[in-house]
A and B are shown apart, each in its own frame.
Chain A
Amino acid sequence: MSKHRGKGFACINYPIGMNLGGDPSQALVHSNPDGKFMVALSSIDLGQGMKSVTRQIAAETLGVPVEDVYVDTADSDTGPHCMGSFASRGTHRVGNAVIQASQEARAVMLEAAAEEMEVNAADLMTDGKGNIHVKGAPSRSITTMEAAQAAQFKQGKTVSGRGIFLIPLSDVDPDTGEMTPVSCFAHAAMIVEVEVDDETGEIEVIEMNSSYEVGRALNPRLVEQQLTGGAWMGMSHAAWETTEPYYPERDHGPVDFNHYLMPGPGDIAPHNIAILERPAPDGPYGGKGPGEMCANPVLPAVVNAVFNAVGVRIDDLPVTPEKVLRGLQANGGAQPQARR
């Protein structure tokens, strides 16, 4: 009786946003009298960082420091419509709406600055630190605060902007399935190394090495958080979780975390991640949504690693010791495949 190691591979692509489109999101941006901006949304921050990523997108587009922007979201009286936080649509759809709203507000701010400075607005640029200056002449400058004050107290202009992003709904051909599902795809590849105990049937994930292509990592720490957590979830789906252990029978359904199994701290495998960025032509600053796809390659990579280790194919998830042992029994013992 012994333990066998094996490596499994899987790669995937992932559609970003609701399938077929037809899922708008809106944003409203306005400045207070001091040139500090508020972004109003109705999008949901599930912990993924919706408020942070839209804040950075607004600051980048407005050309002001991120500390000068806050995001207020999900009060239906004040936030304009958003379809919701699902289908990896938040960054892509809401991000684009925030860009549009911020561009409109920025244009007003630059117009106001131009009037104050008696120059053409097209000749102005922001330095991202709270200043607006003439291109090529940084000394001829005005602060964003002065511009916002001039707009609101001298010129009678509202420094605000509206944004919406909608991919029009695609038809589906009933006979061929022809459709435009989404406009943008993320990618990933995953190699999982497992160790299989041929006496107990237990598997342990030893290491994960992966690459994820996310368009652009708008906030690298948030991307890291998504990929690390998502891969853990994929590992959990592969070898731990189910609400119906004897599916399709409904017996023995777990009702708490004593029975609904998930990998604990001792089960977490080292995960080495490479992040690739091929900007999406219609993504906000090229960003795609990394949130959902990060779990997907882990499931098949785990079962492929089990096959590589002991020659047992597990086609029904989750991989349980019982399934592994039955497979070993059917094969007359472990049949390790080529080492990789």
Chain B
Amino acid sequence: MSVEFRKDLFADERDDDLNEIGKPTQRQDMLGHVTGRSPFYDDHLFEGLLHMRCVRSPHHHARIRSIDTSEAERLPGVKKVIVGSDVPNNLNALLSLLDFGLDDEPLLSDKKVSYKGEPVAAIVADSERIARDAVAKVRVDWEVLPHVLDVEEAIKPGAPSVNGAYPANKFIYHGKYDHQKLRYGDVDAALRQADHVIEGRYQMSPIEQAPMETCGAIAAPETNDRFVCYTATQGLFFSLGTAAKLLDLSSARLHFIGGTVGGGFGGKVDSLHEPLAILGCMLTGKPCKYMFDREDEMQVGAPRGAERWYITDGVMNDGHIVARKFIGYFDAGAYTRLSSYAIIKGAGHLPGPYTIPNVYADIYCVYTNRTPATAMRGFGITGVDFAIENHMDKVANTVGIDPIELRILNAYRDGDMKAHRREAKNTALIECCQVAAEKSGWQTSDWVKQQSSLSGGGGERGQLPTHTATDQHGFVQDGQSGSYGGGSKRQEKSAYAETAAARAAPPAAAPPLRSMPVAQPPTQPARTPEPVQSAPAPAPATGPTAEPPQPQTRRSPARFSSISGLRRR
């Protein structure tokens, strides 16, 4: 095990004479970490803290005929059984805060479930043990539906429809296509002229982020009509915004505290715990904790999604790759979460760090009846890098060139044009290849040793292709393929919201939160509960709740212009 700094490389681009930068300063929080005193979310204990456990689907895909919570509610120590109708705005897409996809996922499902482990009710109880016992007492009448687990099966005609917002099981990109396209030059023409056509199929498996500290949050009523939420989130305001949306609360009433997290690796972005913990707190007036145990973390918590990639390369005898074609399938699981974003990130990454004059990609975000996927270290990149670099080894083997030499032969250099049509700058792939070879004692040719990222690029390699073959395949006709596109989409959405609002009446004790005004006069005594005391439920049933449920007027923050092309129509 050794670490060396190659200060000799790129030395003229760097000022190494700085005061603090480049110093191995110890972390300011180190002492707290090594003595076990750093405050993580679960260290914030409250007297009378309530605990949550979710009732989860045992089926991959099923309709919910009814949920009977009466026996669970009678269990001593159970304070509340929360169901979907208790969630003020029970439909969200994580990326809607970035204006990047239709709302497609309930916090607690009440009509159907689309993956094994999907939550349909949440027990709030005096102890975790009581909450677990109560989970077992909730009776759900399921109507099991056919399910689909394979990405390529899921997009065949007649496959079970997993996700109500995307009935054909494919995310819609830019309001136009059922996949993300990358088109640069003419791949098919180049493949016809290549000396070798080399194909491969690659499968990246689902992986758990496996942080030491499992996902969770503790919420408590704060004075001044607010809620404080201690959280393990990786995005403080991301989770705050998601909670505000789902609970139809002003962000002014939310006070989020986090920042010291026991590992994330991407798995603490989904913001499932904060809204549910706050809702438990709103409905009971007591501090409330919702955290995953390890089994939840591994099977219900979103993993790095599986990816399947097909690569076809056109290669000349001298090792130059003249064409590279990708067909990719991201397994999003049942809901979008962040997968639609990762695919565009992946598209911008193709064809890897190489200058290839003809590149083509169709990448599909596919819904299947499995746990929704989410971010993980290298999101959108790790899976396709596995495919590309595995494939590069096959290409080297096929044309009989050393694998490192093949990389350098095709490596991108300063001034080259990339397939997403931007110039390559600040590149260093070649130097990395040379140094790794040297360290490992891998023999390379003199030519390999002489190459540099700083020279040999640009010129003709920096030009856009004279001709790019484009196509319309996968075009989503407005209103023709199910419900995609502008007007018809919106109608379907409102219809969903209306049905959601009009479904079974909430349990008698539940305050109808849906119409709760955003700003309440601070003088209302019921709305200023103390954190550690038993306080009445925050929203009195006598409040201005007589309005009939209405289609949601969604607060879609105008932070970002439309990418999906759907939300702004």
Which A residues fall within an 8 A CB radius of B? 7-15, 19-20, 22, 42-47, 49, 51-52, 55-57, 59-60, 63, 65-66, 70-71, 73-77, 79, 81-87, 128, 169, 172, 174-182, 184-185, 187-191, 193, 207, 209-213, 216-222, 224, 227-228, 230, 233, 237, 241-244, 247-250, 253-257, 260, 262, 270-281, 285-286, 291-293, 295-297, 299-301, 303-304, 307, 313, 315-318, 337, 340
User: Contact between A315 and B200 (Cβ–Cβ < 8 Å)?
Assistant: yes
Known: A224-B3, A291-B377. A174 touches B236 (CB 8 A): no
| Interface size of B in residues (CB-CB distance below 8 Å) | 135
Are A187 and B393 in contact (CB-based, < 8 A)?
no
Choose among B98, B177, B386, B432 the residue that contacts A189 (Cβ–Cβ < 8 A). B432
Partner of B381, one of A179, A219, A228, A296: A296
Q: Chain B residues with Cβ under 8 A from A315's Cβ?
A: 200-203, 390
Task: Assess the B6–A275 pair: CB atoms within 8 A.
Answer: yes
Known: A185-B426, A212-B432, A315-B202. A260 touches B210 (CB 8 A): yes
Query: Nearest 10 A-B pairs (CB), nearest first?
Result: A74-B259, A84-B235, A181-B348, A300-B389, A128-B19, A177-B182, A19-B345, A174-B174, A10-B389, A189-B436
Specify which of B1, B345, B559 is in contact with A270 (CB 8 Å cutoff).
Answer: B1
Binds A, one of B24-32, B131-139, B479-487, B534-542: B24-32
**Interchain CB contact under 8 A, B298 and A7:** no
> Cβ of A281 and Cβ of B425 under 8 Å apart?
yes
- Of B280-288, B313-321, B438-446, B504-512, the one with at least 4 CB within 8 A of chain A: B438-446
Q: Are A237 and B382 in contact (CB under 8 A)?
A: yes
A274 with B269, Cβ < 8 A, contacts A9-B403, A12-B389, A174-B173 known: no
The distance from the CB of A216 to the nearest CB of chain B, in whole angstroms, is: 7
Flag if B235 contacts A296 (CB, 8 Å). Answer: no
Query: B184 touching A279 by the CB < 8 A rule?
Result: no
The distance in angstroms between the C-alpha atoms of A275 and B2, with both chains bound, is 11
A44:B19 contact, CB within 8 angstroms: no
Q: How far does the Cβ of A232 sit from chain B's closest Cβ, in whole Å?
A: 11
Contacts of B349 in A (CB 8 A): 15, 181
List 18 extra interface pairs beyond A233-B265, A244-B370, A313-B394, CB under 8 A. A11-B429, A44-B258, A46-B234, A52-B26, A56-B21, A60-B21, A74-B258, A74-B259, A81-B237, A86-B234, A187-B432, A210-B439, A253-B298, A272-B4, A277-B14, A297-B385, A299-B382, A299-B386
Cβ of B5 < 8 Å from any Cβ of A? yes
Q: Mark B205-227, 1 if CB is under 8 A from A, else 0.
A: 11110100000000000000000
A176 to B378, CA, bound (A): 24
> What A residues does B352 contact at CB under 8 A?
12-13
Bound: A7/B388 CA distance, A: 18
Report if B65 contacts A (CB, 8 A): no
Q: Would B381 and A14 count as touching, CB distance under 8 A?
A: yes
Contacts of B345 in A (CB 8 A): 15, 19, 181
CA distance A296 to B25 in the complex (A): 27
**Interface-centre pick from A63, A169, A317, A318 (highest chain B CB count, 10 A):** A317
Which of B1-60 touch A at CB < 8 Å?
Answer: 1-7, 9-10, 13-14, 18-29, 60
How distant is A172 from chain B, measured CB to nearest CB, in Å?
6
Q: Looking at the complex, which one of A169, A244, A277 makes contact with B206 (CB distance below 8 Å)? A: A244
Give CA–CA (A289, B458) in the complex, Å.
26
Contact yes or no, B14 A187, CB < 8 A: no
When chains A and B are docked, how far (Å) is the Cα of A304 from the Cα of B18? 41
Please determine whether B236 and A42 come into contact, CB atoms closer than 8 angstroms. Answer: yes
**Chain A residues whose C-beta falls within 8 Å of the C-beta of B106 in the assembled complex:** none
Q: How far is the CA of A189 from the CA of B22 in the complex (A)?
A: 22
Note all chain B residues with C-beta closer than 8 A to A47.
261-263
**Interface membership of chain B positions 366-402, coded 1 if the CB is closer than 8 angstroms to chain A and 0 otherwise:** 0010110001011111100110111011100100000
- In the assembled complex, the Cα of A289 lies from the Cα of B291 at a distance in Å of 30
| Segment from B81-89, B155-163, B249-257 that makes contact with A | B249-257
* A227 to B1 alpha-carbon distance, docked (Å): 12
- Which of A15, A250, A296 gathers most chain B CB within 10 Å? A250
B228-258 interface code vs A (CB 8 A; 1 in, 0 out): 0000011111101000000000000011111
A190, B436: Cβ atoms closer than 8 Å: yes
Cβ–Cβ < 8 Å partners of A14 in chain B:
378, 381
Q: Are B440 and A209 in contact (CB under 8 A)?
A: yes
| Cα–Cα, bound, A278→B426 (Å) | 7
A114, B255: Cα distance in complex, Å: 41
Is the beta-carbon distance between A275 and B4 smaller than 8 angstroms? yes
Known: A174-B176, A175-B470. A255 touches B294 (CB 8 A): yes
B255 touches A8 (CB 8 A): no
Q: Is the CB–CB distance between B435 and A243 below 8 Å?
A: no
With a cutoff of 8 Å between Cβ atoms, the chain A residues found around residue B560 in the complex are: 22, 169
With a cutoff of 8 Å between Cβ atoms, the chain B residues found around residue A43 in the complex are 236, 259
Asked if A262 and B431 make an inter-chain contact with CB atoms under 8 angstroms apart, the answer reads no
Given the interface contacts A174-B176, A217-B22, A299-B385, does A86 sit within 8 Å of B14 by beta carbon? no
